[in-house]
Amino acid sequence: MREIFLEGNFTEVTICFIVGYDAIGYGGHVVCSLDLPPILQDTRELISLLIHELTLVIHAQYCPAIRDLSLQKETLQETLDLLIQYEGVAVFSAYPYRVASGILQNTEGAMLQDYVNTPEKEQMLKDAYCRSQRYIAEGRGMDTILETYFSARVDHALGFIIFHNMFKQ
């Protein structure tokens, strides 16, 4: 993570473990559930998830706009684009750990599928992104737009693929 966020303040982050939610990193706090299926199947997944959520907290230090996100129709496209960067860098930041610890092959479940980078998946995610853009332009309902975007995990998975492809070259 230090390779991405050279000046991030890592000392002012509180990490809390809970049971019964998933995970969130926001406003100087990381909350992570210890009973998530990937963590129960392989405890190394906890470190990967903590890296991801900590990245979200540090990213907000660099990009204050992330704290003001809104799902209003007028700014929806900008918000969705910013989420690709925000979540993409968080998924990507855990990638070196996943490779080094030998858990990259763990791909069961939506969260771990974010690390799969194939041309077919990239095209599917780009198609979902373009559909969500088209739905915004057509004035479709928020439910349709957000379902198209979030059900495919465009923010996480396409964001990862963009960063992965960038750093791979």
Kindly state the helix (H) or strand (E) to which residue 25 belongs, with its residue range. strand 23-26
Using CB atoms within 10 Å of the CB of residue 114, give its burial: 0 to 12 exposed, 13 to 18 middle, 19+ buried: buried
* Domains of the chain by residue range: 14-168
CA angle 129, 37, 13 (to 5 degrees): 75
Tens-place pLDDT, residues 12-58: 788 999 998 889 888 888 999 999 999 999 999 999 999 999 999 98
CA angle 123, 129, 134 (to 5 degrees): 125
pLDDT at 10 over 60: yes
Tens-place pLDDT, residues 98-118: 999 999 999 999 999 999 999
Residue 167 CB partners (closer than 8 Å, separation 6+): 92
Mean pLDDT across 51-75: 84
pLDDT at 9 over 70: no
Quote the CA–CA distance of 24 and 107 in Å, as a whole number: 20
3-class DSSP assignment, residue 8 = coil
Report the pLDDT value the prediction gives residue 48, as an integer from 0 to 100.
96
